[in-house]
Amino acid sequence: MSDTPSRHVGRTGVWLVGARGSVATTAVVGAAAVSGGFVPPTGMVSQLPEFAHSGLPALDDLVFGGHDVTDTPLSKRAEQLAEAGVFPAALLPLVVDALRAADADIRTGTTGEPGGPTQAETAASLIDDLTSFRQRHRLDQVVVVDVSSTEPLPVLRPAHQQLDTLEEALASGDATLPPSSLYAYAALRARCGYVGFTPSPGVRLPALRELAEAQGLPYAGSDAKTGETLIRTALAPVFAHRALRVRSWSGTNLLGGGDGATLADPAAAASKNASKRSGLDALLGEQVEGLTHIDNVPSMGERKTAWDHVDFQGFLGAPMTLQFTWQGWDSALAAPLVLDLVRFLARARQAGATGPQRQLGFFFKDPIADHIAPDHRLVIQFEELRAWYAGAVR
């Protein structure tokens, strides 16, 4: 497989970690439904006119596979999502072939539980799955996207700092990597681009970023902004640009489904909150009071509600407030971003890009950047994406 830049990306593999989850299933349904002309591409940035001639891989050139620790068939998961209201049930018979095809390429995943294979053995198995997937479908390239459950913040270890130290630890049988980072390691060793869609550590460990550079691979992350944080990155600059002093910014998130259950764990919620908070502090130029609470409400199913309260001061100390409520279907908000990120990252690799893809910071709460700190302002991020397209790809 050649990495020589061209004007169009051909058949592209999409390897989803958490491939039978709500986001992954909705992405497969969405790709088939949009490419088949059954629904418009609402919510897909890569379908905007600005990117119409950018040589992105076509939606019907995306081939889906992945890993998951559950065995629920995608067709069944799609039925459950349709019953929950994420998308119309009328779409199911139109996309059933796409769901079956993706299901055939989903392999049993790993949770990193002790007592099983060593991490070196697991990585070798994951690399073999990815390589076989690419060869079996004669793909130009594969992009691995981690849409699995959020992990707690990792305890950094010496082996995480340098690639040679990490590989020595793996060779000795040391279980040094969190599950998301083990997948990132396997993806990079299999010469796949990587997207960290969640706040899990993934490719952020210095040793793995070193590996990506050595392999000449692009990557992006982390923690896609789909709702509350998207609105925050649009609104927060208003206060900074108008010299209004924000005294506190608090939020409450109510959600059910798998995410709600995962984030009921305080350690996982801390990882999510750290990601959500980092951009807000950067946008306001200082740390302000206030916390974001995440509450698991099983009766909400796939729905999500976020409520924010902003306490700020105006001229002469006048007290003022802003409140907003965001309600939506988290999977329907996230799935188009998965498709966007795969298409943009695949095009970046085809154009010869390596390392963190700053232009994709538009999609993330806590963007991975190079030595220059990311700009969290939504409009600026979108302009960076457009400038990349105009200058580096066209």
Question: Which pLDDT score is estimated for 13?
Answer: 98
Question: Considering only CA atoms, which of 134, 41, 82 is closest in space to residue 74?
Answer: 82
What integer is the mean pLDDT of 356-385?
92
Peptide bond into 180 cis (omega under 30): no
CA distance linking residue 74 with residue 146, whole number of Å: 17
pLDDT tens for each residue of 32-82: 999 999 999 999 999 999 887 778 999 999 999 999 999 999 999 999 999
* DSSP letter (8 states) at residue 82: H
CA distance linking residue 251 with residue 384, whole number of Å: 28
Q: Long-range contacts of range 261-270, CB-CB < 8 Å, 24 or more positions apart?
A: 261/296, 261/298, 262/149, 262/150, 263/150, 263/294, 263/296, 264/296, 265/152, 267/152, 267/153, 268/149, 268/150, 268/151, 268/152, 269/294, 270/152, 270/153
Exposure string over 174-183, b if 16+ CB within 10 A, otherwise e: ebbbbbbbbb
Question: Is the Cβ–Cβ distance between 20 and 76 less than 8 Å?
Answer: no
Phi-psi region of 290 (alpha: psi -120 to 50; beta: other; left: phi over 0): left
Query: pLDDT category, 394, cuts 50, 70, 90?
Result: low
Question: Is the Cβ–Cβ distance between 272 and 263 less than 8 Å?
Answer: yes
Question: Which pLDDT score is estimated for 276?
Answer: 67
What integer is the mean pLDDT of 353-361?
96
Over pLDDT 90: what percentage of the chain?
74
Question: Which pLDDT score is estimated for 5?
Answer: 45
Question: Which pLDDT score is estimated for 109?
Answer: 84
* DSSP letter (8 states) at residue 364: B
For residue 20, give the 3-state DSSP assignment. coil
Q: Strand locations in 281-377, DSSP E?
A: 292-296, 303-313, 319-329, 355-356
**Which domains does the chain carry?**
12-224+332-393 (3.40.50.720), 228-330 (3.30.360.10)
CA distance linking residue 368 with residue 159, whole number of Å: 20
Average pLDDT value for the chain: 91
| pLDDT above 70 for 171 | yes
Question: Which pLDDT score is estimated for 152?
Answer: 84
Question: Is the Cβ–Cβ distance between 108 and 67 less than 8 Å?
Answer: yes
Question: Considering only CA atoms, which of 227, 218, 249 is closest in space to residue 236?
Answer: 249
What integer is the mean pLDDT of 112-133?
89
Question: Is the Cβ–Cβ distance between 36 and 94 less than 8 Å?
Answer: yes
How far are the Cα atoms of 8, 32, 54, 195 from residue 58, in angstroms, in the given order? Answer: 9, 11, 11, 19
For residue 67, give the 3-state DSSP assignment. strand
Question: Considering only CA atoms, which of 139, 203, 102 is closest in space to residue 346?
Answer: 139
CA distance linking residue 183 with residue 19, whole number of Å: 13
Query: pLDDT category, 392, cuts 50, 70, 90?
Result: low
Q: Which two tokens stand for residue 331?
A: 């999977």
What integer is the mean pLDDT of 237-258?
92
